[in-house]
């Protein structure tokens, strides 16, 4: 009996040793890489252009007393513009981005001004405007930001020369003037690292904006002597624009992966 047990024990020991030798060393498996993370914090500049619509609620008032002489009517127009600007963003809580920015616009967005009492009409041009505001966005993807913005805005409207309805000059005009108001808008900004093209720091953004400017009263004046006539125009202004801009981010590193 003892001889049988010893024989079985020896066989088991030799089988275990052979099995362990056959297994060999276990291969090394590297830990999985973390997901890429993009950093949106930093300064940026941009430039672009687009198109816009202009609307104004207008009425003719008595120059001396301010008494309304006509009902309020909405007049409109359209045109193009260019824009340049700069800003700074902060990324927080992983997928949220907040920032401040300022920009300026220049171009030719025109709207109609009419005096039905004198039967005269003219085109008023939004020549320049500027805006300073804040934005808040959410990262749809590491390289794509969807955002809303808002803030303060100013605009300069150029001189309007009046003609008859048939186009004959009338010898009267409306001087250029400034207005101030506020704006609200939103858009999408995305990296240009697409379709296999590498362009570190370069982005494109498309933005819609509505700007509302305060009502202002301006006298219709004579071309000779710049003297006020008995009629004045009182109007506000609401401008809507859509623009596309090229953006450059100075400290953009793109999606980066932690090194081991």
* Residue range 150-169, pLDDT digits in tens: 999 999 999 999 999 889 99
Q: What is the mean pLDDT of residues 11-22?
A: 47
Summarize the chain as % helix, strand, coil (round to 5): 10, 65, 25
Q: Which residue has the tokens 């859509």?
A: 242
In whole angstroms, what is the distance from residue 96 CA to residue 90 CA? 8
Is residue 10 helix, strand or coil? helix
Classify domain 40-70+79-249 at the CATH topology level: Porin (2.40.160)
pLDDT of residue 206: 98
pLDDT of residue 251: 84
**DSSP symbol at 146:** E
Supply the pTM of this predicted model. Answer: 0.79
pLDDT of residue 253: 64
Domain ranges of the chain: 40-70+79-249
User: Does residue 92 have a pLDDT over 60?
Assistant: yes
What is the secondary structure of 18-65 as a DSSP string? HHHHHH-PPPP-PPPPPPPB----EEEEEEEEEEEEEEEEEEEEETTT
pLDDT digits (tens, 9 = 90+) for 192-239: 986 666 778 999 999 999 999 999 999 999 999 999 999 999 999 999
Using the CB atoms, write b or e for 191-221: b if 16+ within 10 Å.
bbbeeeeeeebebbbebebebebeeeebbbb
pLDDT of residue 250: 93
């Amino acid at each position: 009996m003892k001889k049988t047990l010893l024989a079985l024990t020896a066989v088991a020991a030799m089988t275990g040793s052979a099995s362990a030798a056959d297994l060999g060393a276990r291969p090394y498996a590297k830990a999985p890489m973390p997901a890429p993370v993009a950093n949106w914090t930093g300064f940026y500049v941009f430039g672009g252009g687009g198109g816009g619509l202009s609307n104004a609620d207008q009425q003719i008032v008595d120059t001396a007393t301010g008494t309304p002489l006509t009902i309020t009517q909405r007049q409109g127009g359209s045109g193009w513009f260019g824009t340049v600007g700069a800003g700074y963003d902060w990324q927080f809580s992983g997928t949220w981005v907040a920032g401040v920015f300022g920009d300026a616009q220049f171009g030719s967005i025109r709207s109609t001004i009419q005096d039905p009492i004198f039967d005269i009409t003219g085109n008023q041009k939004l020549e320049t405007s500027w805006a300073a505001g804040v934005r808040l966005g959410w990262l749809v993807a590491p390289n794509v930001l969807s955002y809303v913005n808002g803030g303060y805005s100013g605009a300069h409207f150029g001189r309007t020369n009046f003609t008859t309805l048939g186009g004959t000059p009338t010898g009267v005009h409306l001087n250029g003037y400034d207005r101030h108001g506020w704006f609200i808008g939103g858009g999408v900004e995305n990296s240009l690292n697409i379709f296999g093209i590498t362009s570190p720091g370069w982005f494109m953004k498309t933005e819609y904006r509505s700007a509302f400017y305060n009502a202002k009263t301006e006298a219709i004046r004579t071309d000779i002597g710049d003297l006020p006539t008995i009629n004045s125009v009182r109007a506000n202004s609401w401008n809507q624009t859509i623009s596309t801009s090229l953006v450059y981010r100075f400290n953009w590193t793109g999606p980066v992966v932690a090194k081991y």
